[in-house]
């Protein structure tokens, strides 16, 4: 058994936790950058106008997406979505998921008249990185009409081109595995929490501070000290009663 | 390297579809399969021009023999809901014109007893109330933006079908905002069961407006983190619809 740590030990542990947490998703973003490079060569104006990626581009996207899914342990699905200002109702999305040990393509329902319509251009994993113009990690959320499960999405936007096309390369992460890994990392700094850009807990060592909760609603705890994770727009918080 | 085409999996790519296409427990009968497909088409869960999976895959999915499936497809074909092209690139496609959703809904709800309606409303209230309470605690700004957009769609809906779609999506997004995967799955399953009731209830403009107003209050409570308030508004929205459904049931589902 360990004795309770002093505040200075915990502060040091928090700095260590910051680098360990960034290291969790570093391979994910490396794969996404690779996918971004591939996407730059694609005929996206044609794809967003027709709703179909040209065959050779599709083959390339499939190759880099499958590499990402097989290459990074946390990734459960990956792909690309794009929409142009001229055709806001069309858009193109191609996605691959891990099913058992195989990777298969997954098509979303892009017909707005279907009850199962997957409205990707309004989904957070598409909008937040578009608005930020930077690599983004979306804190756990339920992806209705997509995975229909709790998901974390890492995404990189391609800079908007002259055709007004917005393109996002993204990967879904295993939310349960990510939260479990973060809880483990936070333990030496406990009580501590990983907090997203909206001040909601992503993971914490405190039982009553569950994943997703707004810190403002958990009134028995306050933030004693924060370390910013600039790359993610998130922060690590040392908590106190 | 290429992954095989998976039209069969496509069909089942969302939970709504997995619910409708769940394997039949009893030795499958053609009428049951035809009924499930008719529901999927009339709800717009299978959209017009959408291709069904190859017959062998679909039969396996329903756990029925290919002969039984063909019988079911024949029934849908003679009703004009699907067309089948033979040969390469062929297959069965959902065809228009789609059935009138109100008539289809009356057919689906006419078998429900008042006890069934009460049971569905109770379950819906349970899911909606707890979704609202948890969403008030956990919703992200993006969740709230989606809910606000959903309320806008509910307020602007001009038909029963539009109102039903807006309502269904609102409650699924509310469950998603609760961040509970189990609540979300329950909400999606319920959407399939409750859709015909909602369609009939929302033929009435006053009910549509009343429900949209409550959803507005509910969204505000979620945004402001008012847990009890959000829960109460959700129950109120469910009860408004349930009361109208009970009345329509008593009148033999005469909506005009």
Q: On the CB side of B216, how many CA atoms lie within 13 Å of its CA?
A: 11
pLDDT at B55 over 70: yes
Contact A214 B180 (CB under 8 A): no
Alpha carbon distance, N-terminus to C-terminus of chain B? 58
- Asked if B146 has any chain A CB less than 8 Å from its own CB, the reply is yes
List domains and CATH numbers for chain B. Answer: 11-94 (1.10.10.10), 101-250 (1.20.120.530)
Count of A-B CB contacts under 8 Å: 107
pLDDT at B9: 40
Alpha-carbon distance A118 to nearest alpha carbon in chain B (angstroms): 9
Contact A104 B17 (CB under 8 A): no
Tokens representing residue A186 in the block: 């936070």
pLDDT at B256 over 70: no
Alpha carbon distance A136, A132 (integer Å): 8
Q: Which of residues 47-86 of B touch A (CB under 8 A)?
A: 47-48, 50
In this structure, are residues A193 and A203 in contact, taking their beta carbons and an 8 Å threshold?
A: yes
pLDDT digits (tens, 9 = 90+) for B234-253: 999 999 999 999 999 999 88
Q: DSSP letter string over A124-173?
A: HHHHHHHHHTS-EEEEEEE-TTTT-SEEEEEEEEEPP-TT-EEEEEEEEE
CA angle B245, B173, B197 (to 5 degrees): 15
Option in A109, A122, A217 nearest B14 (CB):
A109
In this structure, are residues A194 and A206 in contact, taking their beta carbons and an 8 Å threshold?
A: no
Interface confidence, given as ipTM, is 0.74
Tokens representing residue B3 in the block: 């992954």
Option in B149, B184, B195 nearest A142 (CB):
B184
Contact B225 A115 (CB under 8 A): no
Beta-strand relationship, A75-84 and A150-158:
unpaired
pLDDT digits (tens, 9 = 90+) for B75-133: 888 888 888 877 666 788 887 656 677 777 887 788 889 899 999 999 999 999 999 99
pLDDT at B6: 37
pLDDT at B5 over 70: no
In this structure, are residues A92 and A53 in contact, taking their beta carbons and an 8 Å threshold?
A: yes
The A-side interface with B (CB below 8 A) comprises 59, 62-63, 66, 96, 102-109, 111, 113-116, 118, 122, 124, 127-128, 139-146, 148-150, 196, 198, 200, 211-214, 216-217
pLDDT at A86: 83
How would residue B19 be classed by pLDDT, with cut points 50, 70 and 90? low
Ramachandran region of residue A202, left (φ > 0), alpha (ψ -120 to 50) or beta?
A: alpha
Beta-strand relationship, A136-142 and A165-174:
unpaired
pLDDT at A1: 46
Alpha carbon distance B204, B255 (integer Å): 8
Alpha-carbon distance A24 to nearest alpha carbon in chain B (angstroms): 22
């Amino acid at each position: 058994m360990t004795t309770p740590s002093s505040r200075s030990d915990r502060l040091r542990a928090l700095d260590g936790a910051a680098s360990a947490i960034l290291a969790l998703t570093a391979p994910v973003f490396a794969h996404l950058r690779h996918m971004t490079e591939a996407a730059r060569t694609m005929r996206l104006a044609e794809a967003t106008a027709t709703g179909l990626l040209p065959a050779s581009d599709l083959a390339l996207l499939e190759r880099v997406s499958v590499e990402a899914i097989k290459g990074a342990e946390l990734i459960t699905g990956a792909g690309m979505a794009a929409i142009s200002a001229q055709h806001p109702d069309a858009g193109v999305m191609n996605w691959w998921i891990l099913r058992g040990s195989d990777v298969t393509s997954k098509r979303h329902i892009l017909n707005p008249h279907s009850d199962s319509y997957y409205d990707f251009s309004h989904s957070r994993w598409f909008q937040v990185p578009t608005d930020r113009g930077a690599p983004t990690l979306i804190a756990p959320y339920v992806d209705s009409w997509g995975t229909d499960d709790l998901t974390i999405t890492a995404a990189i936007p391609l800079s908007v081109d002259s055709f007004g096309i917005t393109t996002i390369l993204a990967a879904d992460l295993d939310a349960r595995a990510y939260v479990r890994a973060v809880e483990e990392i936070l333990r030496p700094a406990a009580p501590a929490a990983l907090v997203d850009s909206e001040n909601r807990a992503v993971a914490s060592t405190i039982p009553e501070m569950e994943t997703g909760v707004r810190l403002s609603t958990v009134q028995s705890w306050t933030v004693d000290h924060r370390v910013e994770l600039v790359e993610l727009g998130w922060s690590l918080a040392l908590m106190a009663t | 390297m290429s992954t095989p085409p998976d039209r069969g999996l496509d069909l089942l790519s969302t939970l709504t579809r997995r619910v409708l296409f769940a394997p039949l427990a009893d030795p499958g009968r053609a009428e049951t399969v035809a009924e499930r497909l008719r529901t999927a088409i009339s709800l717009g869960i299978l959209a017009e021009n959408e291709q069904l999976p190859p017959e062998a895959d679909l039969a396996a999915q329903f756990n029925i023999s290919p002969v039984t499936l063909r019988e079911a497809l024949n029934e849908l074909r003679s009703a004009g809901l699907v067309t089948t092209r033979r040969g390469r690139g062929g297959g069965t496609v959902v065809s228009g014109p789609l059935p009138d959703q109100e008539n289809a809904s009356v057919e689906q709800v006419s078998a429900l007893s008042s006890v069934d309606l009460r049971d569905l409303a109770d379950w819906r209230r349970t899911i909606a109330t707890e979704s609202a309470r948890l969403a008030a605690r956990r919703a992200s700004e993006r969740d709230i933006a989606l809910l606000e957009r959903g309320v806008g769609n509910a307020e602007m809906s001009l038909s029963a079908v539009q109102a039903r779609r807006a309502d269904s999506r609102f409650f699924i997004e509310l469950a998603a905002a609760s961040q509970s995967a189990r609540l979300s799955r329950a909400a999606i399953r319920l959407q399939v069961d409750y859709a015909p009731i909602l369609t009939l209830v929302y033929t009435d403009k006053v009910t549509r407006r009343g429900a949209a107003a409550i959803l507005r209050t509910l969204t505000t409570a979620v945004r402001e983190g008012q847990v009890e308030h959000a829960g109460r508004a959700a129950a109120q929205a469910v009860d408004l619809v349930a009361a109208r459904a009970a009345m329509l049931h008593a009148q033999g589902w005469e909506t005009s």
